[in-house]
Structure 1
């Protein structure tokens, strides 16, 4: 089989052995996988002579079902998430804790975004918002756009901001969310929406490591409000402002409980439903439900499809900033 790797700051397609199915795992033939520009471009730019397999969100058709798995059979479509099990690879060996079945009314390319959806859902769970509270989404790349739509579907009061006007306009048109490319206009909207009290939570989805947004975000929240770091930002916050508001600083890690836990992933042992309600696997299922019930619309995220045979050129365009799209979906049939 073929898969995509990063090595010496370049993207290559290499050959590897097709994995054999084993107990509590599915063997999946990939139909589509999603490029996550923020994460994957960083990996490429930092890559050395040691090859790193790219990708973590995909969908495909079940080829074989390992023992100990029920409710799915050969030929079913599934959404899958989580490296190293999910990659830009023709075949994937995925534990039973990291997939969700795809119903007929969900397009294959929409299902391939399941990993992004799970990360967005978990970020909102970390924010722990109540019905009617105000969430400010800062940074409207792929993940920020997804979070804004899901927050809106949950009936939070959503205010979104991105420096780039086209991204701000995109979320406004897609879900009728109040969105701004002017920070002054955004701050005014927060004041109006909260009667001057400040937002209940700010979710920072922008990158840039040392960002001025970290300190500024504390100005936008209410007393005892929250700032959730979702993007690649160093948590450098002024103590005085944190102290005066008794602010909560939180970090959202990937798609939910279970991520990076060898027992949950490598050994495919699920957490008890009554004790860990929302694992990363159940967040994948929830994303699929939101799309299936038309509560969110991700069609604008997947307008650019790339043939597997042309994938190196697609990554080069992203690396050279020649593309303004939020993501590219890789078609493994071409």
Structure 2
């Protein structure tokens, strides 16, 4: 899977959460109103899971885009659309309608009431005017549900920031699992995001990309835009005090450039504070598995660079010592890569969890790599 398609994980998770809210069963008949990026992905997900999905949009271009992906879609102004959909579903209405449109009009909610069967579910994902008409919603006893962002855990600081999990038996599909599922389906090719044909802009042309969102003509508008970042992001350098006492293992320049892989509680509470106060050290680059914590902790502690991946940081050779502070099951492979690069290594315990991981480290010829191995206290 190319990195650019992973950028759609959050948008895809929004669509997936909307499907979860319908309570759909295999083969459910579901209508999607609004075929922008979220609606288009939702329609692909319905197909992937074996549901009978139909998309509807007032913009013919969005309908054509869905048709190009071999999805069933109709323009909103199709003559006799309600009757056509009823025949499509064997003489009944939709088991659920997911509204992914964005409009101040009440039409999407009104129209959803006509499409739905008796006691169906209407799920609001988009930003629409929710004023359900009594004539359809009361007489069919319809249920309106909202899909809040990309899944349970969103807006909960205990879950998102402190890492407190929800009990899986009660909340199996959290925001993390929704995101992971979109990545899984994309990697397998089940979710084909190439159909969105996104226009890619380098980050320094971000204003041009945002102008595209406001483009007035259909030929100028794009259904999806991507911003492309360079391999590493440079952070403002924070001045440090000149060294007055060099450590016995310092470099000829008098200051040791330290990089870090991982930025968890142990690193930020036990190691970074002490190293930051040490006059013979300076922070070089930092990397984490997902990148978010690195982007947060990097400027906090004065790291000059946030590497997009640990491998990018290691390859830069812009450090005298790399500290492996990541999850235990990743210590072995990161340690071996650091040693092979010829850079001094500090690895928190354990060095490895299996004999195979330990073998990867022991196979590195320290004499050839000229590396030094330091370890955390046991």
User: Structure 2 length as normaliser, TM-score?
Assistant: 0.58
CA distance in 2, matches of 1:184, 1:135: 20
The CA deviation at 1:196 is 2.2
**Match in the other structure for 1:178:** 72
Matches within 5 A, 1:168-317: 168-174=63-69, 176-181=70-75, 182-184=77-79, 186-317=81-212
Instruction: Name the structure with the higher helix share.
Output: 2
CA distance in 2, matches of 1:187, 1:173: 23
**Match in the other structure for 1:87:** none
The CA deviation at 1:302 is 4.4
Deviations 1:136-191 (Å, cap 9, x if unpaired)?
111111111010000111111111111111110111121x2211113435423321
**3-state DSSP class of the match of 1:118?**
helix
Instruction: Name the structure with the higher strand share.
Output: 1
**Match in the other structure for 2:224:** 327
Deviations 1:259-299 (Å, cap 9, x if unpaired)?
00111112122212222100000100000111111111001
**3-state DSSP class of the match of 2:145?**
strand
CA distance in 2, matches of 1:195, 1:324: 37
CA distance in 2, matches of 1:210, 1:304: 29
Deviations 1:73-99 (Å, cap 9, x if unpaired)?
xxxxxxxxxxxxxxxxxxxxxxxxxxx
CA distance in 1, matches of 2:58, 2:71: 16
Contact 1:210–1:236 (CA under 8 A) maintained in structure 2: no
Higher relative contact order (CA 8 A, sep 6+): 1
CA distance in 2, matches of 1:183, 1:136: 15
**Match in the other structure for 2:55:** 160
RMSD: 1.5
Contact 2:215–2:221 (CA under 8 A) maintained in structure 1: no
Contact 2:152–2:174 (CA under 8 A) maintained in structure 1: yes
Contact 1:159–1:186 (CA under 8 A) maintained in structure 2: no
Contact 1:159–1:189 (CA under 8 A) maintained in structure 2: no
Contact 1:161–1:186 (CA under 8 A) maintained in structure 2: no
Where structure 2 has 5 or more consecutive residues not aligned to the other structure, the ranges are 232-378
CA distance in 1, matches of 2:112, 2:14: 21
The CA deviation at 1:324 is 2.1
Where structure 1 has 5 or more consecutive residues not aligned to the other structure, the ranges are 1-105
CA distance in 1, matches of 2:64, 2:111: 23
Contact 2:82–2:114 (CA under 8 A) maintained in structure 1: no
Q: Which has the larger radius of gyration?
A: 2
Aligned residues: 228
User: Structure 1 length as normaliser, TM-score?
Assistant: 0.65
